[in-house]
Structure 1
Amino acid sequence: MQAPRPRRMSILGLLPNMLTVGALCAGVTAIRFAIEGRFAAALILIFLAAIMDGLDGRLARLLRSESQIGAELDSLCDFVNFGVAPGLIVWLWALQDMRAAGWIAVLIYVVSCLLRLARFNIGHRAIDSTAEKTGFQGVPSPAGALLCFLPMFAAFATGAEPLHGGLVAIWMALVGAMMIGRFQTPSFKKLTFEAQYVRYVVVAFAALLAALLAYPWATLVAMDLIYLCIIAVSLVRRAPKSQKDPKDGA
Structure 2
Amino acid sequence: MPDTPDPLRPLDEPGPPPRRRKGIYALPNMITLAALFGGFYAIVMAMNGQFGQATTGIFAAMVLDSLDGRVARMTHTQSAFGEQMDSLADMVSFGAAPALVAYVWALQPLGKAGWFAAFIYCACAALRLARFNVNVGVVDKRYFQGLPSPAAAALVAGFIWLTSAMIEAHREVPLFHALVSLLGGARVARGDFSWVMFAITLFAGLSMVTNTPYYSFKDLRGRRSVPFAVLVVAALAIALVSIEPATLLFLVFVGYALSGYVIYAWRKAKGQHASIVSTSTDEPDERGLHGD
**Structure 2 residue ranges without an equivalent (≥5):** 4-17, 173-189, 272-292
- Is 1:152 aligned to 2:152, yes or no? no
User: 1:144-223 alignment to 2 at 5 Å?
Assistant: 144-156=152-164, 158-159=166-167, 162-191=191-220, 197-223=226-252
3-state SS of paired residue (1:136): strand
Shift in Å at residue 221 of structure 1? Answer: 1.5
Change (3 A) 1:64 1:176: same
1:143 — aligned with what? 151
CA distance in 2 between counterparts of 1:26 and 1:208 reads: 26
Q: Could you tell me how far apart the structure 2 residues matched to 1:43 and 1:237 are?
A: 33
Contact 1:151/1:163, CA 8 A, preserved across alignment: no
Query: In the TM superposition, what is the alpha-carbon distance from 1:228 to its structure 2 partner?
Result: 3.3
- Name the residue aligned to 2:276: none
User: 1:176 and 1:92 mapped to 2: Cα distance?
Assistant: 17
Identity %: 36
TM-score by length of 1: 0.83
Answering whether residue 71 of structure 2 is matched by residue 42 of structure 1, we say: no
**Could you tell which deviates more after superposition, 157-166 or 52-61?**
157-166
Query: Which residue, 66, 84, 88 being the options, matches 1:72?
Result: 84
Matched, 1:60 2:72: yes
Q: In structure 2, what is the equivalent of residue 23 of structure 1?
A: 35
1:123–1:132: 8 Å Cα contact kept in structure 2? no
User: For residue 37 of structure 1, what is the amino acid of its counterpart?
Assistant: G
- Cα pair distance change 1:233/1:191, threshold 3 Å: farther
Structure 2 vs 1, CA of residues 197 and 91 (structure 1 numbering), >3 Å: closer, same or farther?
same
Which structure would you say has the larger RCO, counting Cα contacts within 8 Å and 6 or more residues apart? 2
Which residue does the alignment assign to 1:245?
A: none
How many equivalent residue pairs? 236
Larger gyration radius, structure 1 or structure 2: 2
Indicate how the Cα distance of structure 1 residues 118 and 196 shifts in structure 2: closer, same or farther if over 3 A, else same.
closer
Task: Compute the RMSD of aligned alpha carbons.
Answer: 2.7
- 1:92-128: per-residue Cα shift (whole Å, max 9, x none)? 110111121100100100000000000000012x3xx
Letter in 1 for 2:213: Q
Q: Distance in 2 between matches of 1:82 and 1:196?
A: 32
Query: Which amino acid counterpart does residue 7 of structure 1 have in structure 2?
Result: R
Instruction: Tell me by how many angstroms 1:50 deviates.
Output: 0.3
Q: Does the Cα contact within 8 Å between 2:98 and 2:153 map onto a contact in 1? A: yes
Match of residue 282 from structure 2: none
Give the SS at the match of 2:49: coil
CA shift digits 1:52-85 (9 cap, x unpaired): 1011101101110000100000000000000000
* Structure 2 residue corresponding to 1:96, chosen from 95, 101, 108: 108
Q: Could you say if the C-alpha distance between residues 46 and 213 of structure 1 is closer, same or farther in structure 2, counting changes exceeding 3 Å?
A: farther
Give SS of 2:141's match.
Answer: coil
Aligned partner of 2:268 in structure 1 is 239
Q: Which deviates more, 174-183 or 71-80?
A: 174-183
Q: Is the 8 A contact 1:152 1:162 kept in 2?
A: no
